[in-house]
């Protein structure tokens, strides 16, 4: 309880602030861990107005869930989290997605202002190979992609402190407006030889690389974006095994957050994730998810 107070109301050193009117003078109760605002007379708890509002899980279990969640380099499955917390899979599933929503909201405020790489890759869905070798096809081709597979377009800033922005679309070409809206003018962008990236040359200094010839050549490469795709791919194959289409954007944002904060300690990651969750309003997607 004290940890939640100190993280949520860090600016007032843990003193409660009313989420309705912003009043700083509050009554406390001995029988229950709630507060009552002296200004508006409204009662609230330490999680009121946050993404953990209307909780039934203990505060200690929520803090443990965040610590376990951020500790996975390639994500943490809801099934494993339910075993760690000794709770239902449904509870762990929604709790994980609430944390992802808070992390995604933090990533959404970022903009790219330095040299960066842009690329796209298919995720989600599965194309089962044919039994006989002569009947097998190149599953990477667009003609053989199922309707569940989508493209994650990533823009990743170069350097140890670079940020990663992601966008989910049906095709890589649909990521061009996303790049134009989130990358500052005059930035140097590295991209491959795909024709739809030609539209970026009017606004940015572009360096193009033909991957059929080399991974990097004459100072041009998309290795920064490929490194992010590697983390997301290992999360899909090794941790979650299957990512449904409607939730792909949430997993992509989570991996972008992990990629951007990979160099800081686990304790700092825990504080960042908890602060983001307590600063995020009530989730309109995940509150009452199983009750539809």
Q: What is the CA radius of gyration of the chain?
A: 22
Could you tell me what percent of the chain has a pLDDT over 90? 79
pLDDT tens-digit series, residues 206-244: 999 998 888 888 889 999 999 999 999 999 999 998 888
pLDDT tens-digit series, residues 232-283: 999 999 999 888 889 999 999 999 999 999 999 999 999 999 999 999 999 9
Task: Please report which confidence band the pLDDT of residue 147 belongs to, taking 50, 70 and 90 as the band edges.
Answer: low
CA distance 123 to 130: 20
Tell me the HSE value of 193 on the side-chain side, using a 13 A CA sphere: 9
Tell me the HSE value of 107 on the side-chain side, using a 13 A CA sphere: 29
Dig out the tokens for 65 from the structure. 């869930």
User: Is the model's pTM score more than 0.85?
Assistant: yes
Report the relative pairing of strands 116-123 and 188-192 from DSSP bridges.
parallel
Of 281, 280, 236, nearest to 254 (Cα)? 236
């Amino acid at each position: 309880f004290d940890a939640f107070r100190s993280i949520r109301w860090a600016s007032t050193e843990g003193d409660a602030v009313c989420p309705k009117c912003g009043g700083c003078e509050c009554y406390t109760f001995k029988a229950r861990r709630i507060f009552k605002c002296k200004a508006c007379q409204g009662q609230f708890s330490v999680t009121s107005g946050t993404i953990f509002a209307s909780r039934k899980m203990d505060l200690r279990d929520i803090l443990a869930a965040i610590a376990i969640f951020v500790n996975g380099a390639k994500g943490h499955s809801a099934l494993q989290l339910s075993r760690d917390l000794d709770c239902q899979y449904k509870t762990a599933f929604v709790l994980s997605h609430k944390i992802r929503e808070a992390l995604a909201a933090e990533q959404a405020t970022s903009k790219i202002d330095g040299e960066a790489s842009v690329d796209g890759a298919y995720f989600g869905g599965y194309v089962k190979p044919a039994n006989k070798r002569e009947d097998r096809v190149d599953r990477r081709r667009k003609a053989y992609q199922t309707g569940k597979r989508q493209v994650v377009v990533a823009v990743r800033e170069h350097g140890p402190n670079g940020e990663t922005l992601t966008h989910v679309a049906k095709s890589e070409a649909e990521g061009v407006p996303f790049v134009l809206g989130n990358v500052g003018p005059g930035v140097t962008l590295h991209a491959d030889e795909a024709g739809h990236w030609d539209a970026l040359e009017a606004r940015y200094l572009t360096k193009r690389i033909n991957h059929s010839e080399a991974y990097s050549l004459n100072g041009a490469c998309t290795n920064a974006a490929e490194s992010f795709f590697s983390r997301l791919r290992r999360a899909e194959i090794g941790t979650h095994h299957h990512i449904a289409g409607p939730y792909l954007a949430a997993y992509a944002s989570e991996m972008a957050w992990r990629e951007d904060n990979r160099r800081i300690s686990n304790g700092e990651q825990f504080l960042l994730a908890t602060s983001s969750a307590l600063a995020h309003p009530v989730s309109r997607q995940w509150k009452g998810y199983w009750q539809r």
